[in-house]
Amino acid sequence: MVEQPCGGVNIEYSVYNPTSVPQLLPEIRVDGFRLDPDVKNLKRLVTNDYGNLVKADETKTKWSDGYYPDSYAPVLVGVDSKIAVGVAFLYPYLEYQHSTYNELYQDVSGGAQNGTYRFRFRLFREEGYPGTEQPLKMIPPNQTWSYTVTVRLSKPRNWITTLHAYRDYFQNLYHDANGEAKPKDLRPIRGKTLADSNYFSNNPRGYSPILHIHDRGWYEFVTSFINESKELGYARTMLWQPSGLYRNVVNNYPSQFMDFDTLQEETADAFFDFPQNQIELGFWAGRSAQVPDRQYCNQNDPAQCQWDPPGIHNADYHNPDDMAFLHHQLELARDRWASLIGLDMFGRMKTSDRYYWVKEMRQFMPNVTFAHEGSGPDMTAGMFANFYNENINGRPPLEAPDMLSNYLNPGSEIWAYYWSSEQIDYQKVQNLTHWGYTVLLSGSIVGRTDVTHLDLTPVACLDGLDNDNDGLIDFPKDPGCKSEMDNTESLTAVTLF
Ligand SMILES: [Ca+2]
Ligand SMILES: [Ca+2]
């Protein structure tokens, strides 16, 4: 594929520690970019919600999406009306295992560079659990670590191509090792909540009484759920709390998502009806990176644990007992015909451990699509879907395609969770699908949305095809595309006289 021409340089950094004690890593930055000094004319790439341009907050002089790999990629892009500047930080994450805090900021010192912009990567910290502050990373004695900062300039329209050197580096490191994700599947997913703590007075695991899973097992529910899903036009489904809920509610949803009670266990062959009816069955794996404390499990078999254990902990990828438990849950899901598995709170595992664990899961269940709740970084997103929930953490609604994900991991699904207790905005579901998101609809009204006539085709400027046969594909390459949301690659007729 030929990139739009964009100029730039690569800056190589070698950090050598000649001493006999570990040393802090220095801040790495590039200075002096003369983008429009008036911040209200500046747009920047966001990397922690969905990867697209937003207006820079003009009340600030520093803009950051926090640490990578909590964010999607270690890249910074600033765009004004004349030029786009993209700066990326290339380093072998799995080898160095440190995060980086990425920041675009404006020099307001009043000096010679006043009003110009800087791009910096700093506060490199030990890899740890997202949301917790780790110690600063030290480079060991007598070692040299290498980093490359790529700086690319382009016309504003071509801003995404300023990241092409990062994309080449990234795909070479991660895609070559794992293969690309499957082509995106835009068919919507129908979500269903099976239990709620309000129902503990009715049955021990809080299954919704009207579903009768608690007293009649799976057969009735599965038959009616499949029939209903077919009528509404769904071919993919997701069941939350398949094993019910813990009474000890702080540990919900259960990591024991496949540890059924006796009646549910005895009727679990009902799930075979899903593949029989060409409906993909999904299970939501509660707290998928946490496991029951060892003392609540069988002495000889760490995979067999008592239901609702009083203590759980973050799973350690290097602890065979923890991993035996997680493996066993997956085995049960596989035997029960799961095609989709949602990994609840997956961020409780370190990024590099998640990376190796998901690689293993994919080998173990090659036909299953996994999804990462909380959105994983680019290096894991190449192997499974991300899950975007705009209902939490003040995340913005999805109002455009995820250009960054499309660019780095074009085959990866992004599940856009649509939950509402109110009437559905069907146009929103259609827009999200056109923009390349897989919509996961859930809730008593939303989950009953008829999607039979949903158009599953991405817009022409985002579909990877040369729709008008001019040799140029999609936005920004095809000049007929006004934006990545344009549905035609053809230039509209212009009246000249
Ligand atoms: Ca196209
Ligand atoms: Ca074209």
Question: How far, in Å, is the centroid of ligand 1 from the Cα of 290?
Answer: 42
- Return the ligand number nearest the Cα of 469: 2
Question: How far, in Å, is the centroid of ligand 1 from the Cα of 344?
Answer: 34
Question: How far, in Å, is the centroid of ligand 1 from the Cα of 468?
Answer: 8
Question: How far, in Å, is the centroid of ligand 2 from the Cα of 478?
Answer: 5
CA atoms in the 13 A half-sphere facing the CB of 350? 17
Phi-psi region of 155 (alpha: psi -120 to 50; beta: other; left: phi over 0): beta
- Return the ligand number nearest the Cα of 465: 1
Give domain 189-458's CATH number out of 3.40.50, 3.20.20, 1.10.3470, 2.40.128.
3.20.20
CB atoms within 10 A of CB 333: 23
Which are the contacts of 232, defined by CB distance < 8 A and separation ≥ 6? 190, 448, 449, 450, 451, 452
Neighbours of ion ligand 1 (CB under 5 A): 460, 463, 465, 467, 474
Question: How far, in Å, is the centroid of ligand 2 from the Cα of 469?
Answer: 5
Domain ranges of the chain: 7-178, 189-458
Question: How far, in Å, is the centroid of ligand 1 from the Cα of 428?
Answer: 22
Query: Residue 150: which of 100, 102, 89 has the closest Cα?
Result: 89
Report CA 433 to chain centroid distance, whole Å. Answer: 16
Residue 315 CA to residue 321 CA, distance in Å, equals 9
pLDDT of residue 7: 79
Question: How far, in Å, is the centroid of ligand 1 from the Cα of 53?
Answer: 20
Report CA 495 to chain centroid distance, whole Å. Answer: 44
Query: Residue 15: which of 174, 147, 187 has the closest Cα?
Result: 147
State the DSSP code for 96: H
Question: How far, in Å, is the centroid of ligand 1 from the Cα of 476?
Answer: 10
Question: How far, in Å, is the centroid of ligand 2 from the Cα of 494?
Answer: 18
Biggest CA pair distance of the chain: 86
Rg (CA), the chain: 24
- Return the ligand number nearest the Cα of 486: 1
Question: How far, in Å, is the centroid of ligand 1 from the Cα of 254?
Answer: 43
Block means of pLDDT (10 residues each) for the chain, length 497 residues? 66 95 95 96 95 97 95 97 98 96 97 96 88 88 96 97 96 81 89 97 98 98 98 98 97 98 98 98 97 97 98 95 98 98 93 93 93 90 90 86 95 93 93 98 91 97 95 96 96 55
Question: How far, in Å, is the centroid of ligand 2 from the Cα of 71?
Answer: 32
Q: Are 122 and 29 in contact (CB under 8 A)?
A: yes
pLDDT of residue 491: 79
Pairing of the two strands 75-79 and 117-122: unpaired
Residue 210 CA to residue 452 CA, distance in Å, equals 26
Question: How far, in Å, is the centroid of ligand 2 from the Cα of 470?
Answer: 5
Question: How far, in Å, is the centroid of ligand 1 from the Cα of 481?
Answer: 9
Distances (CA, A) of 395 to 50, 91, 483: 9, 28, 23
Question: How far, in Å, is the centroid of ligand 1 from the Cα of 401?
Answer: 14
